[in-house]
Amino acid sequence: MNGRASSASPKTLQIIEAALTILRDEGERGLSMRGVAGRVGVSLSNVQYYFRGKDALIRAVVDHYVAQCSRELADATARTTERPLADRRRTLLRDTLRHGHEMTDMCRIFRELWSVAGRDASVEAALDAYYRQTAETLAAALLAPDAPDALKERVVLLVLPYVEGYSVTGRALAQGPDAAVDLLLSLLEDLAPA
Amino acid sequence: MNGRASSASPKTLQIIEAALTILRDEGERGLSMRGVAGRVGVSLSNVQYYFRGKDALIRAVVDHYVAQCSRELADATARTTERPLADRRRTLLRDTLRHGHEMTDMCRIFRELWSVAGRDASVEAALDAYYRQTAETLAAALLAPDAPDALKERVVLLVLPYVEGYSVTGRALAQGPDAAVDLLLSLLEDLAPA
DNA sequence: ACTCGACCTGGTCATATGACCTAGTCGGTG
DNA sequence: CACCGACTAGGTCATATGACCAGGTCGAGT
């Protein structure tokens, strides 16, 4: 990040949120510093004051958004820790795959981030870090606390790619998200009985 | 497609291939009609003669590329039909997931296509059609010819999202593609013994 | 010979974008 | 009070992009 963009400052956040909205709706193709400035209601120079250019802005957007998603997943799974493991699994997978079946904001934005990541190693690294964090959160939510590491890795090896891939292929499949939930649950039951 | 762009004409193919290369390396952000013209070695007006604008060109690129990928998958699976089912499964999954683990051209291009599809319903529909076709090819390659439809759907429900998701998450996982291959093979063996 | 359509080019022009500069305001500090 | 840094804006200018137009060549058909 440009030194003037403190991630906690209100203006910086405004700019990042505006950029995120444009990225979601118009892709990277439609994202310009001037456009972001217009959306925030400040001058181009003011945006350039905080972010040296489009690439710096995109990088800040990536960091901001993956942090937000990590937090949301952690919060969602924290709310179910009191429930039985089978319940937690079902809720998590159902919420996740149903979201994946719709063209949600998150789906759209991740598609844009994947695209950028395919061309920018630092963004790819940021997404990899996000997925590693997500893997840990998933393992904690889907398995008992004392599950061995090998089992955690195996479960995550199944679930994480599946969930991301479902968001781009799910609508083309003959069966809907509930069937995918059932399938994953039964596979998890085989791998790691609840 | 613009009426002047016959998918079989050499100039049209040249333009599409040039656009695909730029899309792969620079994303949609870097794709311009002038840039494509320069890459082909013709004037902007000549490209505009065949494609009314960038959106028409992108749509042609999508159709061309998914047709190519469908063909390649069908050819690859056709080459293994004489082998035992377990062999075929292993070969297909290994080739696919190892590719997914690298940032191959195909990975890059599909990321760009997903991104565009998130914003353009006709591209999303074209990708859905591609995935439906791919699902059929996968089912034929992974199962015996007389497998019931319900089983085909179930296998595809597992494998297709998995393979696509692996291409964006695989590098962040603790285990590599061979472990993913083994996992999928064992899950397939449970679902549909070879 | 003439006409027509396919194909190709160069040019004009409006618009958008970002790099960069200058200048002003405001609050805090010495 | 003067200075400085944080912040904000407006302006200039170079560059890129695409819409669109006019005109030329060539081959086929009448």
ipTM field? 0.93
Cβ neighbours of A32 in B, within 8 Å: none
pLDDT value of position A7: 58
Q: Which residues of chain B have pLDDT under 70?
A: 1-8
Return left, alpha or beta for A41; rule: phi > 0 is left, psi -120 to 50 is alpha, else beta: left
A53 strand C contact, CB < 7 Å: yes
Cα-based distances in Å from B192 to A8, B49, B77, B90? 53, 52, 18, 14
pLDDT value of position B82: 87
**Model confidence pLDDT, tens digit, residues A52-94:** 999 999 999 999 999 999 999 999 999 888 889 999 999 999 9
Amino acid at A159: V
How large is the average pLDDT for residues A151-176?
96
Using a 7 A cutoff on CB, list residues near strand D: A 4, 9, 11, 42-46, 49; B 32-35, 44-45, 48, 52-54
Question: By CB neighbour count within 10 A (0-12 exposed, 13-18 middle, 19+ buried), where does A89 fall?
Answer: buried
Gap between the Cα atoms of A121 and A144, Å rounded: 35
pLDDT value of position B193: 86
Nearest nucleotide by C1' position to the B4 CA atom:
C6
Average pLDDT of the residues of chain B: 94
Nearest nucleotide by C1' position to the B12 CA atom:
C7
Give the closest residue to A151 by CA, choosing from A133, A129, A135, A132: A135
| Cβ-contact A12, A25 below 8 angstroms | no
Which DSSP symbol is given to B3? T
Find the closest chain A residue to B184 by CA distance: A158
Which of helix, strand or coil describes residue A126? helix
A116-133 b/e (C-beta count within 10 Å ≥ 16 → b): bbbbbeebbebbbebbbb
pLDDT value of position B40: 97
CATH T-level assignment (fold) for domain A62-191: Tetracycline Repressor; domain 2 (1.10.357)
User: Taking CB atoms and an 8 Å limit, are A162 and B161 in contact across chains?
Assistant: yes
